[in-house]
Chain A
Amino acid sequence: MSIFKTMLKWHWIEGLASFLIAGLGQVFLGESKKGLIIILTVYLATPFALLSALAISGYLFLPILGICSVLIMGVWLYSIWNALTYRA
């Protein structure tokens, strides 16, 4: 029962926002700096790293793709969890 009580206090709208766009939930919660860092990491830094690696070499691209995939998934999940369980 206590778990349901805790879940009732979660920020579901912000969690959903972070699910749709990583970092958006943090922006909604007033954590603009954190939200912006997440947005820039997921939507700009990692795609840029991938394209740069591909431009240099296919063999460099493979490990970078692995690292970026894990990084994006990790940051995205963190963004959702962080928004859901946010405490001011």
Chain B
Amino acid sequence: MKKKLDASRLTAIIFVLLAIIYFYFYLLTPRLIPNFLKVGIIRHPINILLMGTDMTFDSVTQKALPKINARTDTLALIHVDPIRGKIYLLSIPRDTLADIPGYWPTKINAANVYGGPDLIKQTVTNLTGVQIDYFLQIRPTGLIKMVDLIGGVNIDVEKDMRYVDRAQKLDINLKAGQQKLSGKKAHEFIRFRHDAFGDIGRVERQQKFFRALVQSLKKPSNIIKAPFAIVIALQEINTDLPLNQTIRLLNFSRMARIESMLASGEARDLPVVGSVWIIDKNNLKEIIHEHF
């Protein structure tokens, strides 16, 4: 006997169909889902200080000392805006001259060595006027593991890069061209700064890498790897961001558009401190006002 298609049955079928459609959109093209229907993401705007630290090696054993507060080679202020569906990334060059509370004005990358994440958060707040909610400190090994886990990142390396620094155990050897970089090669790409553009060129490469990394994270195949990514994050990332917020942030990054920026400034040589980057305060204010 053929069953009648009554209203409740029809409603159930429509509901199930909508659930199936939503499932595929969420998995494959999450950006097309309207904001109010997005689930499992950050709900309120937050500011995060992203720090990439270099490694300190024991002078006797030559082994890495991951627990030491190292200099911040990468420093970026991230504004996560779920309302606009965007992530704004303001890079702060490591040689930026900053007033570190309790110390003489010096390069901002020293703040983490002097007083850890709290001091660098305070220093960046003083510099930008932005209240920082959380910090996220990633070690080079964490970055390498993460990139390897997602199967590498596609990047157009703009030129051949060659640099060796035995003290830092750094051996950069990259050829120009579009390529998929492994974790180790990606680390070399974002560390390189030995050209005419120095640290500013490196900051631009770091922004390029960040965009490529988020692009790779969006691949549906990488969703299956999410549990492993979270385990790496727990081991290699030092943060005060609660775990459920980290998961929501990772998920949101699949759906968000990334805008990266850098305040203009000029390079100067100062006595004692050496070569520094002086940020154009007016330009910085404009960027903060517009995006943060």
Interface flag for B226 (CB, 8 Å): yes
A39 to B244, CA, bound (A): 28
Which residues of A have CB within 8 Å of B242? 58
Select which of B16, B20, B231, B247 is within 8 A of A61 by beta carbon. B247
Q: Is the CB of B227 within 8 A of A54?
A: no
Q: Are B230 and A43 touching (Cβ within 8 A)?
A: no
Interface residue B163 (Cβ < 8 Å from any Cβ of A): no
A36–B20 Cα distance when bound, in Å, is: 12
B contact residues, total (Cβ < 8 Å): 18
Scoring A residues 54 to 71 as 1 if CB is less than 8 Å from chain B, else 0, what string do you get?
Answer: 100111011001100100
Known contacts A44-B19, A54-B40, A62 near B248 by CB under 8 Å: no
Q: A51-B39, A54-B40, A69-B224 are in contact. Are A61 and B244 (CB under 8 A)?
A: yes
Task: Please measure, in the bound complex, the distance between the C-alpha atom of A59 and the C-alpha atom of B245, giving whole angstroms.
Answer: 11
Interface string of A16-42 (1 = CB under 8 A from B): 000001000000000000001001101
Say yes or no: B19 contacts A54, CB within 8 Å: no
Chain B 224-249 residues near chain A, CB threshold 8 A: 224, 226-227, 230-231, 242-248
Would you call the interface of chain B mostly helix, strand, loop, or mixed?
Answer: helix
Pick from A43, A47, A62: contact of B16, CB below 8 A: A43
Q: Are A54 and B16 in contact (CB under 8 A)?
A: no
A47 touches B23 (CB 8 A): yes
A80 partner residues in chain B, CB cutoff 8 A: none
The size bracket of the interface on A is 10 to 19
A50 within 8 A of B: yes
Cα distance A48–B246 when bound, in Å? 19
Complex CA gap A23/B16 in Å reads 12
Q: What residue in chain A is nearest B230 (Cβ atoms)?
A: A62
Question: Quick check: B40 and A50 within 8 Å, CB to CB?
Answer: yes
Residues of A within 8 A of B (CB): 21, 36, 39-40, 42-44, 47, 50-51, 54, 57-59, 61-62, 65-66, 69
Q: List 23 A-B contacts (CB under 8 A).
A: A39-B20, A42-B23, A43-B19, A43-B20, A43-B23, A44-B16, A44-B19, A47-B23, A51-B40, A54-B40, A54-B247, A54-B248, A57-B243, A58-B242, A58-B243, A58-B245, A61-B247, A62-B230, A62-B231, A65-B226, A65-B227, A69-B224, A69-B227
Q: Could you tell me which B residues sit within 8 Å of A by CB distance?
A: 16, 19-20, 23, 39-40, 224, 226-227, 230-231, 242-248
Q: Which 7 A-B pairs have the closest CB atoms?
A: A58-B243, A58-B244, A43-B19, A43-B23, A43-B20, A66-B227, A65-B227
Known: A58-B246, A62-B230, A65-B226. 16 other contacts (CB 8 A): A43-B16, A43-B20, A44-B16, A44-B19, A50-B40, A51-B40, A54-B247, A57-B243, A57-B244, A58-B243, A58-B244, A58-B245, A58-B247, A61-B247, A65-B230, A69-B224
